Chains A and B, each alone.
Chain A
Amino acid sequence: MIEMKGVYKTYPNGVTALNGIDVHIDQGEFVYVVGPSGAGKSTFTKLMFREEKATKGSVKVNDYNLSTIKERHVPYMRRHVGVVYQDFRLLPRLTVYENVAFALEVIEESPNQIRRRVMDVLDQVRLKNKARFIPDELSGGEQQRVSIARAIVNHPKLLIADEPTGNLDPDTSWEIMHILEEINASGTTVLMATHSQEIVNTIRRRVIAIEDGQIARDEARGEYGYEI
């Protein structure tokens, strides 16, 4: 499902973010990626959908070899990967419905399909009644649910969440975590970079700790393991 072998990443400015990563993640796993700021978490997740390219080593995701993939195949690879960010990245002028539908429009889905799937997925994140609102009229938690809806509307095999609760208060964070758990339960692999000790230590899942560009820890039902 995800397989990294001997992966190095050095940015053009000379900063080395990843320093020899070997990892294997099966379909359907829920994985936390933890570690200090600047340790390489973000780079690690960005390699999974070809936002960044490994300098050395091989990255395989969903049968795509991202180290050799042709530029014109990248968009098709990304249709099997959903991404959620800390800052939501919604289009402010579009309604909730339109924001989610946008993800299907740009891959040229039929209008019927779009209508059906957007309503399904808004139901799933419990936002059906706010479909006509614009992002500014929603709370932070609701906005993050919209961005999750957009990420999964295409039924990706892998959902990457880069600190999805980073901007949210604790109650709202739990709400988001429950939704991510549900998505994982339906068979989607979830990879979540986080700084939340509380979440990692409560909902026990596989933990990959990255320090100085290397995997410092990889435990099946791990703990957060850092002092706050």
Chain B
Amino acid sequence: MNDRHVVLHGLAIKKHAAPQEVADITGLDIGTVARLLAEEEGRRRVVTAAGKFMLTGPAQVALRAEYSRVYADQRASIAMSEAYGQFEKINAELKQLITDWQTMDVGGKKVRNDHSSTDHDQQLIDRLGTLHERAEPALKRMAKELPRLSIYPRKLIAALEKAEDGAIEWVSDAKIASYHTVWFEMHEDLLRILGRERDE
């Protein structure tokens, strides 16, 4: 698989991103990403606005058409598909956990978590740490089938540790590379790699 594909794929997951963000998610160096994005802009596959890039419609279609060939090995791999099955199970728990993080049970009623209870928040972050440890084997197995994926566990751990250290926005804030943001991007990446559909 070539760098050009990876750059476009990374941009597809980030959707609207500066070269640095694409470099962060793909593990390519920033020089390569910037050069390839500039070239693709010349070929009208990406457009830029205020320093951020986006795929054009035709480029999105072209990218999707490449997946079955680029990821043929991963799609054929039993190890990959087993690990992904494990991931899916934990994904369901993660979604519940994030919901529990955002809501809080008060006297038998679900109310919005206003983060006034440090105990409640710490318990949830502890649960997130336990879930992460349970997800690690599956993440490792998938990274064995596609080394680029090892970026995600690193980013997940970085977010988790910031949350553990008290910066609670790193659990689910959609504007930063919070645990939930990275998890979701990873899920999107995996769906594209394996040619599957999201299941709400």
A and B found bound together:
no
- B: residues with CB less than 8 A from A are none
- A: residues with CB less than 8 A from B are none
